[in-house]
Amino acid sequence: MARRPLPRILSSGNASITRSREFARTAADNATDVLQPLITITRGLRLLAGAGRQKWAATPKDKRGPALFLVAACVLAFALMPYGSLIALVTVMAAAAWKGRERTPVKTGPDEAETARLRSLYEALVPYFSVADDPGPLFSHGGDWEKAFSGYEFDGDRRLTRLQITYPAYFTDSEAASRARIERLLHAKSGRGREYRFAWDEEGNHLVMTVLGALPTSIGAQRFVTAPGETVLGFTDGDAVQRTVPVHDGDTTRDVPPVVWRTGARSTEPHLLAIGQPGSGTTTLLRSIALQALQHGDILIVDGSGTGEYACLTGRDGVLAVECGLTGALATLEWAAHETERRLIAANRARQAGHPLPDDIRRPLWILLDRPGFLGHLAAADGRPDPQELLQVPLRHGRAAGVTVVLTDQFDSLDTLGEPVRTHCRARVVLGHCSREQVESVLGAEPHTTPATDVPPGRGYARLGTGPVLRLQVPATPDPYDEETGEAQRQTVLGLLPERHTAVEAAVPAGAGVPDPAPPRTATVAVEGLAVTD
């Protein structure tokens, strides 16, 4: 059968129909805006009437008579009152307008998408939190997820930001492998690319998963509000420590929670070991520590990599030596060992005589070594002793002598670290992207957070002694002589550096000056009778 052609109005009048529909829709919207007060009052009157009917239905029959009498008395009072009818009308209209206003509905539970995500997560946890002979399993396929998830929060993208799980008592939460399996599953199902913290309550059989925010990376080197003997390694989460320090972040000043490392005679972690990947920020950490140590002490720097990252410190007041070569490094470390012994003898004699400590041993001495494993390889090839052997005396007796040792190296040189370094460097830092196993090999404990995929320089973990593993972001302390350093950061670091030695300034020809942007590549610094040439 041949199809009949469409009417002309339907085949050729599409544009006119579309314009008519748009005009009608616009007119309806304008009418709604104009009549919005009337609509609101009408809705309020309907709600008030419904509330009145419910109140009347809930009133017992023996009390309905007195209620009617009370209502009639009120109506009569308004009728006899001057302008009473107008007041009553205005009151009813105001109550109707308030009752009929548009209010944002209060969310009392998860929506459909959030419920689907929670149910999917519940089903994924069933094989881990259930056994075959459990008569009343908390986790079962097709079970009630609301009994297992006692608390949950979502962000604007309907992704979990917090989840509290109640698990059965027979789950082996005391085993690290069992906990790691659950954490990996929750990390994968809740969304990768974010850091999660897992808090296990073995006593109450609860697990709380929380999404952590990013640590601030815009805080640079500055004078931190600390006491002598305290060094700010970086910044961490607000609920991880019980202290904050004021810092300058751009043009503002705010309080942030720091990771404070305490050194001195009463410190239980007198020495620090930092391990990281190439470009992870270990050199930045060492520069930050050097700038803070120069406020109250003297420093020796041994740059095993020989890249000149510490040239800005050469010849500064308080900087006894900056060494890059093997010969100078061995001579400097040998002097540091003798200096430690001298301080111990002087302190012992002063205590035996009942005198205060001499002034020449009160000022702390810091030994900063960057990549000692590389120097150890050069020493072995040249038939010389490993520089780490010269650190045994400062590491073992440095706390009593006021000597602090800080070592930084990379993961590929972790096996070359000697036993004194592993034993006495109880403050540990791991920087850069690394697995949980690598973090545990250095810190001695796994972090309670999942490693981040995108790690900025200076980001990692820290552990002081037997304390908890803390997230860490090192303050930005770039090399001021690096061409890629911004002008603002360059001036900030240069402003924190001490003045140059008089001897170094005298070695420069008259009129040449000692400009900061071009430090001398060769300098000789006398260290109490020991000439160290760089």
> Can you state the angle between helices 64-80 and 84-99, rounded to 10 degrees?
120
Of all helices (H) and strands (E), which one includes residue 245? strand 245-249
State yes or no: 276 annotated in a binding site.
Answer: yes
State yes or no: 166 annotated in a binding site.
Answer: no
CB atoms near residue 180 (< 10 Å): 14
State yes or no: 281 annotated in a binding site.
Answer: yes
State yes or no: 315 annotated in a binding site.
Answer: no
Q: What is the rounded CA–CA span in Å between residue 306 and residue 63? A: 96
State yes or no: 444 annotated in a binding site.
Answer: no
Q: What is the rounded CA–CA span in Å between residue 7 and residue 74? A: 66
352 in Cβ contact with 279 (< 8 Å): no
Q: What is the rounded CA–CA span in Å between residue 428 and residue 432? A: 14
State yes or no: 44 annotated in a binding site.
Answer: no
Q: What is the rounded CA–CA span in Å between residue 223 and residue 246? A: 10
CB atoms near residue 140 (< 10 Å): 15
293 in Cβ contact with 497 (< 8 Å): no
State yes or no: 277 annotated in a binding site.
Answer: yes
152 in Cβ contact with 164 (< 8 Å): yes
Q: What is the rounded CA–CA span in Å between residue 254 and residue 231? A: 19
Q: What is the rounded CA–CA span in Å between residue 449 and residue 469? A: 9
| Conformational region of residue 234, where left means phi above 0, alpha means psi within -120 to 50, and beta covers everything else | left
Residues contributing to the annotated binding site for ATP: 276-283
Residues contributing to the annotated binding site: 276-283
